[in-house]
Amino acid sequence: MSMVTRLLSVCPVTDRTGSAESGETPALLRDLVTKVGGCTLDHGFYRFHTARTATEANVACAALIDGFAGRFHCFAFDWLGREIAVNVRGRRPAVIVVDPGWGEYCRTDCELDEWHDVMCGEDDLLAHSFYQEWQQANPGIVLRFDQVVGYRIPLFLGGPEEVSNLELTDREVYFELST
């Protein structure tokens, strides 16, 4: 739990869904999934996968990224439907972010044990300020575990990166349509 202590102080748990059992989770992630699997932070800004939803996310990411299957494992996702995964076969457990809005993924310089500290730092890696802007424009909407805020016109098709181009949608459907 120490790898998420700072994150939980900045973005508190606001809901928990599903089972926190680790199932077929790689050893590297078992403790994390057991402790925070199914947790929603800050009303949907960041969510930790359960073993079941991680498996579903892994299948979706493998369809988008050659070489994903068996090498990376999803452990969380954010309000924009970006899947957060870690390299479970490499020498260092580097984190990647799979972004359906752009139809691509990006590597981070972070290893799993530092990802959550860096994520809640000053760089705003997952656009928390944009999330707050969206919340202010949509008062009273709380993201369910199966929902994300997606781009009506995906960024890779020239859609603007603005609140007016965002809509509430099903997480799995958005990922499938965007990739």
Contact assessment for residue 112 and residue 26, using Cβ atoms and an 8 Å cutoff: no
What is residue 22's predicted lDDT score, i.e. its pLDDT? 60
What is residue 157's predicted lDDT score, i.e. its pLDDT? 87
pLDDT at 11 over 60: yes
Q: How many CB atoms lie within 10 A of CB 64?
A: 18
Number of structural domains found in the chain = 1
Give Cβ neighbours of residue 137 (< 8 Å, ≥ 6 apart). Answer: 163
Task: Report the predicted TM-score, pTM, of the whole model to 2 decimal places.
Answer: 0.92
Can you give the length of the chain in residues?
179
Q: How close are the terminal C-alpha atoms of the chain, in Å? A: 33
What is residue 79's predicted lDDT score, i.e. its pLDDT? 95
Tell me the residue type at 81: G
The token pair at 134 is 């969206």
Contact assessment for residue 22 and residue 34, using Cβ atoms and an 8 Å cutoff: yes
The token pair at 106 is 């990006």
Q: What is the pLDDT of residues 128-137, one digit of tens each?
A: 899 999 999 9
Domain that holds residue 53: 1-179
Res. 109 pLDDT band, cuts 50 70 90: confident
Burial class of residue 97, CB neighbours in 10 A (0-12, 13-18, 19+): buried
Separation between Cα atoms, residue 166 and residue 179, nearest integer Å? 17
* Distance set, CA 141 to CA 78, 108, 148, 168 (Å): 16, 31, 11, 9
Separation between Cα atoms, residue 169 and residue 117, nearest integer Å? 28
Q: What is the pLDDT of residues 37-67, one digit of tens each?
A: 999 999 999 999 999 999 999 999 998 888 9
Contact assessment for residue 86 and residue 29, using Cβ atoms and an 8 Å cutoff: yes
Separation between Cα atoms, residue 137 and residue 135, nearest integer Å? 5
